[in-house]
Amino acid sequence: MAEIEIDGAPADPARLAALGLLNYGHFTTLRAEAGRVRGLALHLDRLVRDCRALFGAELDRAAVRERIGAVLPADGAPVIVRVTVYDPALGLERPAAPAAPALLVTTRPAAAAEPAPLRVRTAAYRRELPEVKHVGLFGLVHHRRQAQLAGYDDVLLVGEDGLVVEGATWNVGFLAGERLVWPQGPSLPGVTEALLSGAYRGPQSREPLPADGLDRFTAAFAVNAGVGVRPLAAVDGTAFDPAHPALAVLRAAYLGIPAEAVGG
């Protein structure tokens, strides 16, 4: 199995150069196991939507499914697959030239065990084009690095208005008892967030959440396709219960979502 390929062929330095030097493109990351992916249709929708937004081009959904299927291990072992869409011929001087996006597909083993709860700190930052999952990760990585240097695990992004937006590479939710509250604001529409929101049978809402008012919640969690539901132990100086019973309900709801066969 190739660990990295472009349009079905082993990646070569010349075609990778544009992504490394220009850093213009978008991606989605998904977890595949036994040839199946939760929310596969939503991942494909994201890639098609973002390709139109960044390149003004249509992406072939069938081709994406084919490329994902080609890199999955034959034994069905769980892997993390990242599909990046970029144009190897795009130049800095003429980014408005007609685009011919390529598919760069990479894989890595998926974590087997449940990851430990996260301790995060807040940082004032808003991604460019927050509705697009683009490859411009400098700000996110910088703030994550600064948080880790300060003794935290990760960073929770807050807007200039002081409202919670999203995590560095994850969406965030909060629990007041069994009531699930999602932040309201400009953030990436997460696939796992959408799946979990549809699967959870308890009360839920979307509200503006001031970062200095999170102590009204009893539990908090991060969600993305790689880890599913991951508890937060603390945000800045506010502690949460990483073993709150509602978190187990959320995990069960997520794991109960049927996965879609990549082969269709």
- Please state the φ and ψ torsions of residue 172, each to the nearest 5 degrees: -130, 145
The string of DSSP codes covering 124-142 is: E---SSTTS-BS--HHHHH
Rounded-to-integer distance, Cα 97 and Cα 88, Å: 12
What confidence tier does 114 reach under pLDDT thresholds 50, 70, 90? Answer: confident
Average pLDDT score over residue span 136-141: 96
Nearest to 202 by CA among 219, 184, 181: 181
Give the gyration radius of the chain's Cα atoms: 19
pLDDT in tens, 55-69: 999 999 999 999 999
pLDDT in tens, 44-56: 999 999 999 999 9
Pick the CATH number of 118-255 from 3.20.10.10, 1.10.150.120, 3.30.413.10, 2.60.40.10: 3.20.10.10
- Average pLDDT in the chain: 95
Extents of the domains making up the chain: 4-109, 118-255
Rounded-to-integer distance, Cα 100 and Cα 88, Å: 8
pLDDT of 82 reads 97
What confidence tier does 198 reach under pLDDT thresholds 50, 70, 90? Answer: very high
The answer regarding whether domain 4-109 maps to CATH 3.30.470.10 reads yes
What confidence tier does 247 reach under pLDDT thresholds 50, 70, 90? Answer: very high
Is the pLDDT score of 111 beyond 90? no
pLDDT of 112 reads 66
What confidence tier does 115 reach under pLDDT thresholds 50, 70, 90? Answer: confident
Nearest to 146 by CA among 133, 155, 135: 155
Nearest to 86 by CA among 59, 46, 126: 59
| Local structure of 62: helix, strand or coil | helix
Rounded-to-integer distance, Cα 238 and Cα 243, Å: 15
Is the pLDDT score of 119 beyond 50? yes
Question: In degrees, to the nearest 5, what angle opens at C-alpha 82 toward C-alphas 36 and 143?
Answer: 130
Average pLDDT score over residue span 78-106: 95
Is the pLDDT score of 1 beyond 60? no
Rounded-to-integer distance, Cα 54 and Cα 245, Å: 42
pLDDT of 2 reads 52
pLDDT of 264 reads 67
pLDDT of 32 reads 96
What confidence tier does 263 reach under pLDDT thresholds 50, 70, 90? Answer: confident
Spacing of C-alpha 21 from chain mean position:
23
Rounded-to-integer distance, Cα 243 and Cα 256, Å: 20
Q: Which helix (H) or strand (E) holds 38?
A: none
pLDDT in tens, 142-195: 999 999 999 999 999 999 999 999 999 999 999 999 999 999 999 999 999 999
Is the pLDDT score of 235 beyond 70? yes
